[in-house]
Structure 1
């Protein structure tokens, strides 16, 4: 029998006394009174805020809208290019602008005390100060052009074509050189105000309208004009010679592919001879740069070592081909002179390249310019054009349309994918150039100012570089920074930096690769040092990426620094071998630090360089000459000195004080 425990007493729960919970009386009337008072206070506060901030902001908004509406007449008169109407509408606009400024000055005070908002209101102050000078500049330009209005077709009823206006303008500009000083002064004032606006804090777009890019574009143009306007006198005087007004000039135009960066910009893939006659361009001949020395033993150039060791060691070539002549130095005059004297002028005039005419200068154009021109002019196509096949027959390109969004992709597909083995495939470049030039010469009136802005930005960013064999013209180009020279610092107390990338892998990764460079200068143990960090990012390829364009980025970096600098340490963030070399350039009076590495797809790497600076560089009054490499776009830079920091996108050569 199982034994179980059986209690002998009944178990019962103890009695729990009943609990009575009495809710306190709630005075809902009092609560609603308090709530009502709070709501009233919120309403009153909102009213006060509206009165203090909202009403002024709304008043400024209304005045700004009225000012915008009043600008319509000025915009329309600019399209007509009638100086009398432009002056009339500018005077009218100035009156409305004065009304807006009065409202703004009366109402903006309270807004300047608001956190976050005050920074943007401060920018408005700078824009207004720049606008004051801009209006003065407008009247100065009108007064300067008035005596020549009829000659330039700037009168109502003028029948001059764009081509005729270009010729007339080239003749008139030398007469305007006396006004350069006044124009330059106003340009400097405008740039001084715009330089204080930080474009990076603005959104890229708002309700479909580009914001940041427009601010950057305006700042870039006026910065370029401000820096170069004191030297425009020389440009104005030499334009008739440059544009072939006095006698026709022939220029060799090198088409550089920016998706494959070399020292002097994009890889030189195609050459076109253009004649300038009274300012009007005409294409005379085109040639694939691969054909220039492909069948001429006399042009074989095996002088690689030691000066151009990277051509043999990294590009794996046993000779310097004509197509690589622009890959030897970032100084455009030196490299283009080498191309002309070593290949172009020595060519026998036979073989695949045919007869190569003598030229009066060399102009390099990066593919980025084509994008910007099509953005202004609209699309072009090559319908009805054809190219020579390897079988000696001609094949049409079809009706492919090229616009600012697809031009690079279409060119790469034609040249390096679909037709990569067809020798005549690059004729598409000539056809595109002819189509774009035709659109430029027949541009609508409203597109002329955007076109001028596009060309000015291209000259500043080195998407157009000019080497004229006329010494006076060349000097004018060098003075303006349009000749692509390695520059000398204004005096020995300045620091110097020029970071030059070369894609020696044959692929098109510069289409995707991004770069960030940080330079810091400091004192340590009584000596001056600098640290330069160069981050290179080779992102994952998009779905449309073609296999022939390759995936690995092979970057040869040459860093130009002041003469007398010495490397202390150079490392890669991923520990990879960077093939460091220290060289001296007696010609440019610079030290050259060379590095080479491979970067796989979806990887990034930072090259860190620490080096001494010569005692001549003054860190107490620090100034830096920073040069931009042709063909690069969107490279971010940060300069740090003594707790001061400056961040920016490098769009042109810069002179920096910190």
Structure 2
């Protein structure tokens, strides 16, 4: 191949001739790469295929000698006018050449670009001689410069946001102070001051929203926009929450005096009985406000549902973020459910309280939870009461044994009761509460009660209560004086680790005597009347605590209701006041533990329980679970010899145990039960694991259940129901190594990640 000229002067040779010469030389040299070309008309292209780059190198050297100011051969000069001979301009064909290297090297691409520009009369660009490292350096420099610009922009924006954030944080703190102040005043029963604090919070919230609106332009920025929208949803939810508070205070205000609040209530003056009557007869006026509150709570739920808490970190500088969003959603949802469930109760409350023009009669059953039975305790005594315009009066009361004496048509005793009640051949009314579902037990009880002569059969419902209610009332009202029996208090008695009133009643009712005592439970009536009288005479400052205590006892199943009116019964079931078992949610876990004392005196007074759950992640649609229950009696046994004449409270406990779990569960192992006492069976929506065990004084018994539950949820979800009459029990959960504690003081749901 001819060496390229070293002459630096401009070459005026036709560029096409140079190309032809290079290509011809390539064809003449067999060792040179094969090059093909195709002539075409003015608008046709030809492709020159090349496998190795030497020809391009030669071409580059030749091109470097060209006078690029000269027009291409066969083409008009860039300065040629339209007056020139058109035929002359078309006379000489030319060739447009594109050169490709199979490796698509960057340098080849640059040479192709220059060649195309030359042949198309465009002004050529200078071929870069720098290496790729130089390009990388430019890119890095460009990136840094761009970042500095972005940092500068964000710095300016950050300063702008910082100024706004500081102002908004100050407002948020003021809102928090006002909200806490309103809550504190409500607890202090000062309705007037509570309203003032809430009004202040309302004004500050509107101010905060105005300040936040200054950032509305960020809502159109990708990525940042979603966070701005979250703020908008939060603002809307917060404003609506304040409006809910204002409506709630508006609903309470007419009843301020009855509820013990300081404020200008509508029902001031007159006796407590008169004020309760007026409050009950005007509850229908509250319904529209309840509906408004319900609607606004739905709005809050909608606003919060638009926020994805998973976009946020768990915490920032030690302040929880994600969990607070989740908790806000949960509280809002719970409030919405409570309002919706509470409305039916308010609708029927005037009727239940005999304020609808009809006096109501109820059968009250006193359950002794120290001798635990399925619904809450041994049914030890009963009474009939009248309720008219919210005022309670007693009709009669008696020992449950006196009732059973008149019950002649007794059915055969269930086999399971024979385990402990060895002397009984027939099924007494006092032992008929064997189903933990209060309604089912009362269905059975009432069916047979109607066969008892001389007792009222026209009643509106049954109310059961245990000793927790008695103890709580004395705690709130103070010592109770019962003529002929003495004074009763809530102070702890070391002999039983229970309230003095509980031990004193046991002394009166259960201590054996060398003679037959008439009406040994005759104290029930006088004590009941003494408590009712003291409650009506209590200062109004105690009324909020009384209401709170009453509701806590309903939620803890220390008070349970059974109504014959279908609407009233449904309302009671809706708020969990009817002691019903609930069906498990498909694909989730469920548990209710039920203990029945079948012959251990009043030993449940001394036995303490603890529970541990160990749960594994689901496999093949099943969750493996182990429940360990420990029953401990740390007190010495009582002398239960009748001849000794001592109080027999603590003896060996024979416990009929049942665990209600989801239907379809499989029991793998059970430990701690009496031999051959364990069995499983289906009952309604549940599978029941049943067994019998014993706990001796100064001893403990450990029960272990290992079983599998049908499961489809992605996290551990358990709904636990509390047995009526039981103390609050702490449950420890170990879910895949993570531990959580929960106090079961009412029916509760548990959600724990696997």
Q: Is the 8 A contact 2:615 2:735 kept in 1?
A: yes
Counterparts of 1:175-254 in structure 2 under 5 Å? 175-180=285-290, 183=293, 228-246=338-356, 247-254=358-365
Give 1:516's aligned residue: 610
- TM-superposed CA distance for 1:68, in Å, is 14
- TM-superposed CA distance for 1:361, in Å, is 0.5
- TM-superposed CA distance for 1:134, in Å, is 9.3
Q: Is the 8 A contact 1:250 1:360 kept in 2?
A: yes
SS, match of residue 373 in structure 1: helix
The answer on 1:336 being equivalent to 2:436 is no
Q: Judge which range, 442-451 or 544-553, deviates more.
A: 544-553
Equivalent residue in structure 2 for 1:290, among 401, 417, 420 = 401
Equivalent residue in structure 2 for 1:601, among 691, 697, 702 = 697
Equivalent residue in structure 2 for 1:301, among 384, 391, 411 = 411
Closer, same or farther in 2 for the Cα pair 1:68/1:578, shift >3 Å?
Answer: farther
Give 2:473's aligned residue: 373
The answer on 1:264 being equivalent to 2:264 is no
Closer, same or farther in 2 for the Cα pair 1:279/1:157, shift >3 Å?
Answer: closer
Give 1:528's aligned residue: 623
Equivalent residue in structure 1 for 2:739, among 645, 651, 657 = 645
Closer, same or farther in 2 for the Cα pair 1:592/1:74, shift >3 Å?
Answer: closer
Q: Is the 8 A contact 2:268 2:275 kept in 1?
A: no
The answer on 1:141 being equivalent to 2:248 is yes
Give 1:469's aligned residue: 564
The CA deviation string for residues 218-247 of structure 1, in whole angstroms up to 9 with x for no partner, is xxx999977633311111111111111111
Give 1:218's aligned residue: none
The CA deviation string for residues 358-404 of structure 1, in whole angstroms up to 9 with x for no partner, is 21101111110111111111111112x4xxxxxxxxxxx3x343445
- TM-superposed CA distance for 1:356, in Å, is 3.3
Matches of 2:531 and 2:335 in 1, distance apart?
A: 25
Matches of 2:508 and 2:663 in 1, distance apart?
A: 45
State the TM-score, normalized to the length of structure 1: 0.68
**Larger RCO, structure (CA 8 Å, separation 6 or more):** 1
Matches of 1:224 and 1:336 in 2, distance apart?
A: 30
- TM-superposed CA distance for 1:644, in Å, is 3.9
Q: Is the 8 A contact 1:255 1:365 kept in 2?
A: yes
- TM-superposed CA distance for 1:482, in Å, is 0.7
Matches of 2:299 and 2:589 in 1, distance apart?
A: 24
Matches of 2:722 and 2:566 in 1, distance apart?
A: 24
Q: Judge which range, 179-188 or 228-237, deviates more.
A: 179-188
Closer, same or farther in 2 for the Cα pair 1:531/1:70, shift >3 Å?
Answer: closer
Structure of larger gyration radius: 2
Closer, same or farther in 2 for the Cα pair 1:356/1:644, shift >3 Å?
Answer: same
Closer, same or farther in 2 for the Cα pair 1:312/1:610, shift >3 Å?
Answer: same
Closer, same or farther in 2 for the Cα pair 1:600/1:512, shift >3 Å?
Answer: same
Matches of 2:420 and 2:375 in 1, distance apart?
A: 17
Matches of 2:440 and 2:384 in 1, distance apart?
A: 20
The answer on 1:322 being equivalent to 2:429 is yes
Equivalent residue in structure 2 for 1:499, among 586, 590, 593 = 593
**Alpha carbon RMSD of aligned pairs, Å?**
3.8
- TM-superposed CA distance for 1:169, in Å, is 1.9
Q: Which runs of 5+ in 2 are unaligned?
A: 1-173, 205-236, 305-330, 492-498, 641-645
Give 2:488's aligned residue: 401
- TM-superposed CA distance for 1:554, in Å, is 1.6
Q: Is the 8 A contact 1:188 1:226 kept in 2?
A: no
Which consecutive segments of 4 or more residues in structure 1 shift more than 4 A? 66-77, 92-99, 130-138, 145-154, 181-190, 221-227, 418-421, 542-547
Matches of 2:718 and 2:519 in 1, distance apart?
A: 46
Q: Is the 8 A contact 2:662 2:686 kept in 1?
A: yes
Q: Which runs of 5+ in 1 are unaligned?
A: 1-62, 80-85, 100-129, 193-220, 350-354, 386-396
- TM-superposed CA distance for 1:529, in Å, is 2.1
The CA deviation string for residues 484-535 of structure 1, in whole angstroms up to 9 with x for no partner, is 011113x312211000011111411111211112223325763432211111
Equivalent residue in structure 1 for 2:387, among 252, 267, 276 = 276
Q: Is the 8 A contact 1:522 1:619 kept in 2?
A: no
SS, match of residue 259 in structure 1: coil
Matches of 2:299 and 2:419 in 1, distance apart?
A: 47
Closer, same or farther in 2 for the Cα pair 1:563/1:412, shift >3 Å?
Answer: same
Count residues in correspondence. 497
SS, match of residue 611 in structure 2: strand
Matches of 1:75 and 1:523 in 2, distance apart?
A: 44
Give 1:312's aligned residue: 418
Matches of 2:453 and 2:609 in 1, distance apart?
A: 42
